[in-house]
Structure 1
Amino acid sequence: MKIAIISVSDKGQKLAIDLKKRLELDSTIIKTDLYHKNVKNYFPILFHEYDAIVAIMASGILIRSIAPLIESKVTDPAVLNIDDNGNFVISTLSGHLGGANELTHKISKLIDATPVITTSTDVNKKLGIDIFARDLYLSIDNTKEILYFNKAILDGREISLTINPNCNFDYLHEYLNNNTLEINVSIYYSSKINTHEIHVCLDEHKIILKERKIVVGIGCKRNKECKFIYDALKKSLIELNISTERVNMLASAEIKKDEKGILELSDKLNVPVNFVEIDKLKLFSSNDVSKSEFVKSKFGIYGVCEPSALITAGFDSKLIYKKTSYNGVTIAIAVC
């Protein structure tokens, strides 16, 4: 998640600086930028450039600033509101699909504030269909139906999920079994359903959820054993609450194509691995990718795990887990 923090007062600016330092320690936060004052000029830019905006200011200023920019719960960024004293963190916009509710809880813990969440499913301890999709990295084909299904869930009605029996959906069962929020579902199987799809039905209403591609980029020291690479991958996925069964591909640079540990991990997970050509890595450019002068001096490229993950995930992919080191192994995760 790329976050912009904007403040208007001196006290708010100090809080913003402190919050930025804390967020940058989180591998799921890809980038954090600070902005101060000039609210009228900044907001139209921030609204389209960042996944989330944290506004440290009075709620009136925030609401008047974003009102002309709001378009859809599908495309609007997450917007949070924090008072100058850091007493309250308020999820203001895009609580579910945009991730504002989740980020509100994260930031409130970091600054010891009270989180304020108002979405109906959350306050009633129900699992909304949009949260279900967000947590499992699934796209929603008909977002207009979200309201109908969430209302049904609030009313305790049973939702049916239909999946293809030939596809591994262990992560779905694991998620439903471990989730503490309430949802009444029945799971059915049909070979007519496309693989990697989940059909959600109630009455004449239907939503099709499709798996977004999750790619784990891997860099490692020469001859690193599989168990160490696997441990690093597991730790990364735990931070994102992603099951190993949900991973679609592994990726690394072609200089690692004979790396036994990575090849063994691919077999262990039954997930294909893509070794990206050096020329593609040299040409790849992104402001979200970190640069290592050490890697550049050895291989002529600035990095392995982040660009490999993004290139393999495909056009319009983004990092959801930045380069993180684990005892000679680096992991980055991209989604498309």
Structure 2
Amino acid sequence: MIGLISATAAGAAARDRLAAAWPERTRVYDGPARDAVRAAFAECEQLVCFLATGAVVRLIAPLLSDKASDAGVVCVDESGRFAVSLVGGHGGGANDLAREVAEVLDARPVVTTATDAVGVPGLDTLGLPVEGDVAGVSRALLDGEPVALRAEVSWPLPALPVGAEGAYTIRLTDRHLDAVPEREVVLRPPSLVVGVGASRGAPVEEVLGLVEAALRDAGLSARSVGELATVDAKAEEPGIVRAAERLGVPLVTYSAGELARVAVPNPSGAPLAAVGTPSVAEAAALARGGELLVPKRKSERTDGRPAMATCAVVRRPARGRLAVVGLGPGARDLLTPRAKAELRRASVLVGLDQYVDQIRDLLRPGTRVLESGLGAEEERARTAVEEARRGQAVALIGSGDAGVYAMASPALAEASDDIDVVGVPGVTAALAAGAILGAPLGHDHVSISLSDLHTPWEVIERRVRAAAEADLVVTFYNPRSRGRDWQLPKALGILAEHRAPATPVGVVRNASRPDESSRLTTLAALDPATVDMMTVVTVGNTATREIAGRMVTPRGYRWQESRPKPPEHPEHPEHPKHPEHAETTRHPEHAVNKEESR
């Protein structure tokens, strides 16, 4: 919850704007500022104070205890120009909150944390437990001093300006350490899965004690446990559920049938008789593969009674991450925030050289860039997948939307289920061109690439003919190049068999880029020689019109203006308000869907 505190009318107005934007996330605190800040600090994870920074510093100073647990505090000035991350920039999330507040209030975020200022990810913001000299190693990264990365386990990390050697060290490990050496930071990846089984009524102390002893004896860190796993029949066993809660990890369950199919070194008849699988602890830990570090072991009881719990520990294989990112048509303001976040999250970037140049300034220091020229799409896709399989965080970029005539298809054809894949949508060339032309895609439409490098012309021609016969608006990608100069005239000729010569045609080159150009012509007047590979050609359907210099396709098959004027009396059966004309009974092509109209 985010506490909102103000002291003036202007501050209250900005406060109320934020409360209206985030009704489920915020709580307004009224009354004297001192009392409101104290109450909000105790009850909320974050605060936004519409007060002077000096005043807020004095109010929260007695309340601060530890940066890992203190609330994140953002200050907004009286005129609403700045959102200042005051304390808890990383641990309290104040840096991200300042950016969010600034976006809502149309203000400027002010973030002074050194790592954020220079684009280096904070070691305490990676989502992993961290130990050791965080301040010293972070300072070395900022100062450009040599910092070594020792990855004892593979795990996808964002780009870090590190090398193989250095006076400072970042160590990625799931091993137990008695102490962290000087000038070293230890990152704990959630690489361990603990499989557990338990008899009914097993005490949480017995389950948890067994798990902790197994990890300790194997030299493993409890901070690297990513999940507890068991059979479905034990999903609500109190001892197991509470052990997961106390370890702070999720409890994952599998059916007995799934576990029975997992090969284990120590099957047993007891769990087979009890829950239908010859193994619970080992099978649950190994259900998604990995290296068995601790075979099944039983708890030890001092009262001489039989053990009530079993566990096994597996180091699961690191799952690399592949983000397939659409960069949009070229303009920076059409690059989505999600795409920017993925670019900054990646440690490896793969893409066409000219697309890499567009976003190179957004990459974090240390990002490894693998770029290549035109015609190497399959090679780039294979490279991106291979890097992800090595446990890297990879961003594979494409223009427009990466799933539309771009890199998503070849990449996903190469990828299997051993990596995590994230798709990031982008503004397509067809959408960007359509916005420039007016509203040519107002009704059913289709996009067709005229490049026969990957698709036989016979297939392309069949699709063009089908679109022509179906009266679809058609957007042509890759319409014409120096080596392919006859395909566009052929496609236009096919459309002309079904559409009038005056059918509007929009031609947009380099949509959204500085040298953007567009023109509106007709099917008969379009000169294919004026079109190149940087151009998108949109051909209207039989209802498309030019209105005030804009290309517009109606939402229905006929224009509203062309319909006969309805009778004025509401009880007349042809009047729009007559019950027979309710939206639920009208033909779908003529109905106005309110949701679609918003």
TM-score bracket, normalised by the shorter chain, equals: 0.5 to 0.7
The aligned counterpart of 1:314 is: 245
User: For the Cα contact (< 8 Å) 2:5–2:28, is it kept in 1?
Assistant: yes
Q: Does 1:9 align with 2:8?
A: yes
The alpha carbon displacement at 1:81 in A equals: 0.2
The aligned counterpart of 1:161 is: 149
Query: What is the one-letter code of the residue matched to 2:74?
Result: L
The alpha carbon displacement at 1:49 in A equals: 2.6
2-side partners of 1:250 and 1:122: how far apart? 35
1:146 to 134, 142, 148: 134
2-side partners of 1:80 and 1:51: how far apart? 12
Q: Does 1:107 align with 2:101?
A: yes
Aligned runs of 1:194-273 on 2, under 5 Å?
195=174, 204-211=182-189, 248=226
TM value normalised by structure 2: 0.31
User: For the Cα contact (< 8 Å) 1:156–1:184, is it kept in 2?
Assistant: no
Task: Pick closer, same or farther for the CA change 1:205–1:114 going to 2, 3 Å.
Answer: same
The aligned counterpart of 1:307 is: none
The alpha carbon displacement at 1:249 in A equals: 5.1
Aligned runs of 1:85-96 on 2, under 5 Å?
85-96=79-90
Aligned residues: 214
Aligned runs of 1:181-200 on 2, under 5 Å?
183-186=161-164, 195=174
Query: What is the one-letter code of the residue matched to 2:12?
Result: Q
Aligned runs of 1:288-299 on 2, under 5 Å?
none
The alpha carbon displacement at 1:36 in A equals: 2.1
1-side partners of 2:173 and 2:138: how far apart? 24
User: For the Cα contact (< 8 Å) 1:5–1:54, is it kept in 2?
Assistant: yes
Task: Pick closer, same or farther for the CA change 1:313–1:62 going to 2, 3 Å.
Answer: farther
1:78 to 69, 72, 75: 72
The alpha carbon displacement at 1:197 in A equals: 8.3
1-side partners of 2:109 and 2:138: how far apart? 22
Q: Does 1:98 align with 2:97?
A: no
The aligned counterpart of 1:21 is: 20
* Alignment deviations for residues 135-172 of structure 1 (CA, whole Å, 9 cap, x no partner): 3x212233xx222111101111232233334xx51x22
Query: What is the one-letter code of the residue matched to 1:86?
Result: G
- The structure that has the greater radius of gyration is 2
Query: What is the one-letter code of the residue matched to 1:314?
Result: E
1-side partners of 2:86 and 2:101: how far apart? 14
User: For the Cα contact (< 8 Å) 1:40–1:65, is it kept in 2?
Assistant: yes
User: For the Cα contact (< 8 Å) 1:140–1:207, is it kept in 2?
Assistant: yes
Secondary structure of the residue aligned to 1:15 is: helix
1:63 to 57, 60, 69: 57
More helix by share: 1
Task: Pick closer, same or farther for the CA change 1:276–1:121 going to 2, 3 Å.
Answer: same
Greater RCO, 1 or 2 (C-alpha within 8 Å, sep 6+): 1
Task: Pick closer, same or farther for the CA change 1:162–1:108 going to 2, 3 Å.
Answer: same
User: For the Cα contact (< 8 Å) 2:172–2:188, is it kept in 1?
Assistant: no
The alpha carbon displacement at 1:52 in A equals: 1.0
2:36 to 32, 42, 45: 42
Query: What is the one-letter code of the residue matched to 1:81?
Result: C
Taking every aligned residue pair, what percent have the same amino acid on both sides?
26
User: For the Cα contact (< 8 Å) 2:123–2:130, is it kept in 1?
Assistant: no
* Alignment deviations for residues 191-222 of structure 1 (CA, whole Å, 9 cap, x no partner): x9853889xx9x84222222479xxxxxxxxx
1-side partners of 2:244 and 2:19: how far apart? 28
1-side partners of 2:27 and 2:247: how far apart? 21
User: For the Cα contact (< 8 Å) 2:149–2:162, is it kept in 1?
Assistant: no
Query: What is the one-letter code of the residue matched to 2:79?
Result: N
2-side partners of 1:6 and 1:48: how far apart? 13
Query: What is the one-letter code of the residue matched to 1:116?
Result: V
User: For the Cα contact (< 8 Å) 2:82–2:102, is it kept in 1?
Assistant: yes
Structure 1 stretches lacking a partner, 5+ long: 26-30, 177-181, 214-245, 259-273, 281-309, 320-336
User: For the Cα contact (< 8 Å) 1:197–1:211, is it kept in 2?
Assistant: no
Secondary structure of the residue aligned to 2:188 is: strand
2-side partners of 1:89 and 1:150: how far apart? 25
1-side partners of 2:112 and 2:172: how far apart? 36
2-side partners of 1:60 and 1:318: how far apart? 40
* Alignment deviations for residues 88-127 of structure 1 (CA, whole Å, 9 cap, x no partner): 1001111122211111112111211011111222223333
Secondary structure of the residue aligned to 1:314 is: helix
1-side partners of 2:149 and 2:35: how far apart? 45
Query: What is the one-letter code of the residue matched to 1:18?
Result: R
Secondary structure of the residue aligned to 2:34 is: helix
Secondary structure of the residue aligned to 1:183 is: coil
Runs of 4+ in 1 over 6 A off after TM superposition: none
2-side partners of 1:21 and 1:212: how far apart? 38
The alpha carbon displacement at 1:63 in A equals: 1.5
Query: What is the one-letter code of the residue matched to 2:103?
Result: K
Task: Pick closer, same or farther for the CA change 1:212–1:42 going to 2, 3 Å.
Answer: farther
2-side partners of 1:158 and 1:127: how far apart? 16
The aligned counterpart of 1:305 is: none
The alpha carbon displacement at 1:276 in A equals: 4.5
